[in-house]
Amino acid sequence: MRLKILFHDNCFDGAASAAVFTRFYLERINKDATVEYQGLAHKAGGAAIDEGVFTGDENAIVDFRYSQSPKLTWWFDHHVSAFQQPGDEAHFRADRSGRKFHDPTRKSNTCFLADTVREKFGFDPSPMAELLEWAELIDGAQFESPRQAVELKEPALQVMTVLEATRDPEVVKRIIREMQTRPLEEIARQPYVADLFRQIYAKHQQNIEVVRAKAKLEQGVVFFDVADEGLDSINKFISYYLYPDAAYTVWVGKSAARSKVSIGSNPWHPELRRHDLSKLAERYGGGGHPVVAAISFSAADLPKARAAAADILAQLRG
């Protein structure tokens, strides 16, 4: 029996969700299953998930949007924008399998999944308590301070950084396998993680300087455009490290594969929030959470990404 687990790629919550689901499945559903992993990334225009990814006898998606494919047998997500295709939500509501779950009020998909399979399938998630705590803290942006989120001293945050930055799917899969049994401190100490972290951290220090040079705070909103630098993923708290009193950040990035507009609110100043960023992003084909969202465009559509960012900036500053 082959189990395929599809998870939100380059994301601590996505990887931790995959680790918890694996342990649950092997303990409570089928201990003899062989497990394969594949990360899913958001595509331009919110395109449907390619049928070709469902290669298991059972297929699970965790921390990523819904699919109406009959091959999808398990689903757990907490994104507000989980239903992107016409008919997705009605299809989910009509599902009677008892194996598909959505709760957009949950901070982390990892804890949502763990709680759900504990209640419904008698899984004991307590050996994974450390992982659950960090997933909740990271995905809920419950860091003590911008300093904690940007200086990355805790092992869990080093693992998070490697997961977010690596383009090597084997690294992500190895971390998912190790998250099932090993403490995060032990994972962070291993050379394949520690060496990558050192490289990424050096780049991260450069990114802080790029943002410092480019970012402008006006009317409570930080804006910067690092598309020309070829950056499309940076630590999302740098702007609050530099501007602790900002309410929002809007930035434009670009990689070989895509152009991207990222929108976030300052987690340390929730009282300054006046917009639902998920709704704002949906107008341009993106999505996410009320407090943090993003819109992906093709690499060639950088001018469209810039126009969307300018539009959103005007709305947040207005």
Which residues sit at the interface with Mn ion, rule CB under 5 A? 13, 63, 109, 139
Report d(CA 81, CA 293) in Å as an integer: 10
- Nearest approach in angstroms of CB 76 to Mn ion is 10
- Nearest approach in angstroms of CB 179 to Mn ion is 15
Residue nearest to Mn ion (CB): 13
Report helix, strand or coil for 274: coil
Closest to Mn ion by CB, 72 vs 211, is 72
Closest to Mn ion by CB, 13 vs 232, is 13
Report d(CA 140, CA 159) in Å as an integer: 17
Contact predicate 297/260, CB 8 Å? yes
List Cβ neighbours of 8 (8 Å cut-off, separation of 6 or more). 14, 17, 39, 40, 62, 63, 64, 109
Closest to Mn ion by CB, 59 vs 109, is 109
Closest to Mn ion by CB, 58 vs 139, is 139
User: What does the DSSP 8-state code read for residue 28?
Assistant: I
For tokens 């501007």, the residue is 243
- Nearest approach in angstroms of CB 287 to Mn ion is 12
Alpha carbon of residue 118 to chain centroid: 23
- Nearest approach in angstroms of CB 66 to Mn ion is 14
Closest to Mn ion by CB, 109 vs 266, is 109
- Nearest approach in angstroms of CB 62 to Mn ion is 9
